[in-house]
Chains A and B, each alone.
Chain A
Amino acid sequence: MAHLTALSIASDEELIREFCHGDRELAAAQFVRRYQRFVYSVAYRYLGRHEDAQDAAQEVFLKAFEHLHRFERRSTIRTWLYRITVRVALSMLRQRKRAQWLPWDEAFSGDEEPQATTLSPDQAHEREEFNRYFHTVLSNLPEKQRETFVLRYMEGLSYEEISQMLGTSIGGLKANYFLAVRKIANALLNGPYGEYFRQASQKPNGDDPHTIQP
C-alpha cells in the first residue's frame, strides 16, 4: 500500500520536478491531495454521481501521472487537469450512454456515504437534500455558465485561467458569470427552499424581499 507521508512542495514546478527526478511517490501523493477536490468536483458536475466521479477522478490522476513528465507548461496544471477531467468525464458519459445528467433519484441510489460531521441526522439529511437540489439548479444552467460560475465562485480561479480552460473571452466569461449568478439566485428564491432564502433577502425594515430580474 502506498504510504502517505507529509510533504510540502510549494509550487507546481517543484512538484513536477520532484515527480520526475525525485521522490515520485511522495510527489504523487502531494499532487493528488492538492487537486483532488478540484478534479472530483469537475467530474461530479459532468457525471452527476459520486461513484462515477470517483472513478473518473482516479482515471484522471493515473493519466496525469503517465504524462506529467511531458507537461509543457503552456498552461497551469489546474487547466491541464481540467481538460483531462472533462475529456474523461465525457468519454465515460458516452460509454454509459448518459448524454444528460442523471435525475437525482437515480443518481443517488446506492452511493450514499455516512456523513462524518457533527450534524444531527435530521440536519444531515436536510443538508443532503439541499445539496441534491442545488446540484440540480447547477445542472439546469447552460454548460458555459455553469462552468464559469463554479470555477470563479467556488474554485476562486482568475478569469485568465478560466478563459484558458473554457476557451472563452474574458468579457464573455463575465457575462456568463453574471447570468449564472442571477439564475441561481432566482432559482433559490423561487424553488422549494425559497422561504429560507427569501428570509435572508428580506429588507431589515420588514419590506418585501429584494427582487431579482428573471
Chain B
Amino acid sequence: MRKSLRALVPIAAAAVPFAVLAGPASADTGTSYQTTLNALNHSSGSGMATVTVHGNQADVKVSWSGLAAQFNGGDYPHVQHIHIGGQGACPTIADDKNNDGVISTTEGGPAYGGIGTTLSTKGDTSPKAGTDIKIAPAGGSTDYSRTITLSNDTMQSLQAGTGVIVVHGLDPATLSKQAQKEKSDLVPSLPLAATSPALCGALSSMPSGGVATGTGSTAGVEQLGTFALGGGLLALGGAAFATRRRVSAGR
C-alpha cells in the first residue's frame, strides 16, 4: 500500500494482512563458521575461510591471494592456523609494542590467542606443527581444502566465538629497515618477516537457513480494507435506494 493511499483511507491500514515470519530452518547439518581474511602488516593480500563442523571433524577451506610468493629462491611457505583462547579479534597497529612497524606473532597474541589447530597441507594439525614450513601452503596464493579432526580446545573456542584464522609470512621488502634486521620471535633462525602475521580473520557463525525479507503485503489481494470500505459504502447506497423506494411506495 502506498503511503498516500494510507493517508486517504486510514481504515485500510488496519486490514493490511501481516504475516508471521518463517522460523529458521537449516538444510545443512553441522555448524558453519566463516571469515574474510584481511591484510595485516601491509601485506596487501586478502582471502576468505570457512569451517564446517560435523561432530569433531571439520571441513576447512582457506583461500587467499596476494601474499609474498618467493622466499630464498623457492615458494614462500605461509604457515596458517586457527588461533584460540584470545579475544577472538585481529590485532591492530596499537599492538606493536616495540614500535618497529610490525605486529609480530607474539604481539598479536592477546588479540587472537595461541595456536589451536595448524592448517597444514598434510600430516600433523596440532599446535606442534605450527611452524613446520614443510607442510605449509606455499606461494603467493592458495585454495586450501582439508577435512581435519578438531581438538576440544579448538571446538570450544569456535563455539565461544574466539576462533581466529591467521596466515603468516610477509614480504621482507615491505618491512621497515629496523624490522628487516630483526629475527623471528618464534623461530630465531628465521627473519621476523617469515613468521609475522600477514592475513587475519575472526571466525563467526555463518547465517543459518534463509532470510525473512518480506511480509507478503503485496502477495494475494492487497488493499483489503479499501475493498471492504468501498463494498460497505456500495451496500449502504443500495440500502438507501431501497428505503427511498419504500418511502415513495408508502406515500
The answer on A and B forming one complex is no
Binding site for B on A (CB under 8 A): none
Binding site for A on B (CB under 8 A): none
